[in-house]
Amino acid sequence: MIATLNDQPDFAHRDPHAIPHELRDEVEMWARENRGTHGVIVWNPILGCAEVRLELRDSDPRMAAWRGGSLKNKPCETVFLHRQEEEGVHWKGIPLDELGVEFVRKWLDAGNMWSGRGRHKSLDSACKAADQHNTDLDNWMAEEAVENARLNARDNKRQVLDLPLVAVPANLE
């Protein structure tokens, strides 16, 4: 049996990661209305999700390095269209068939450009929160290392001096 493209549905021969034109137009319109710049939505094969790339304004301080020749590529603001099913698990890309024009507009309007969760409204606040989290984690790990060293020393002392793990009563009767 030979199947031809005419026997298959219209979408069967398309790339499953091709971004619909409606979404592309919506991202461009949102960028023009809200930022005065351009925007494009593309598929990121490494992360397995769609991402919105928004051009930065000329007045943005992040453009200085590019204008000075330090950066080869023009910097942009990237919004990943992904979500976490539950806290503590990996992020998963939102399937393109679930992405609608209204969904993408709501996602961009939420302002969760950098964190992906809507917790931070600017890159600075996201970086400060990440630094604070890393500092707290370092402090906790140092405390745990001291506690583990103390427990290891106690166990080594018991083994070297042949001390019982639990106190043994003198009279078992």
What would the pLDDT profile of 4-63 be if each residue is shown by its tens digit?
A: 444 444 444 456 668 888 889 999 999 899 878 899 999 888 888 888 888 888 887 878
Q: Is 145 a domain residue? A: yes
> Containing domain of residue 94, as a range?
10-120
CB 80 within 8 A of CB 112: no
**Which residues are registered as beta bridge partners of 50?**
43, 81
Is 32 in contact with 40 (CB distance < 8 Å)? no
Tell whether the model's pLDDT for residue 142 goes beyond 70: yes
Residue 5 covered by a domain? no
User: Does some domain include residue 45?
Assistant: yes
What does DSSP say about strands 91-93 and 76-84: parallel, antiparallel, or unpaired?
A: antiparallel
Residues 15 and 53 in one domain: yes
Residue 15 CA neighbour count, 13 Å, CB half: 7
pTM: 0.56
Q: Where are the beta strands (DSSP E) in 29-149?
A: 39-44, 49-55, 76-84, 91-93
Structural domains in the chain (count): 2
* pLDDT attached to residue 138: 92
Same domain, 102 and 151: no
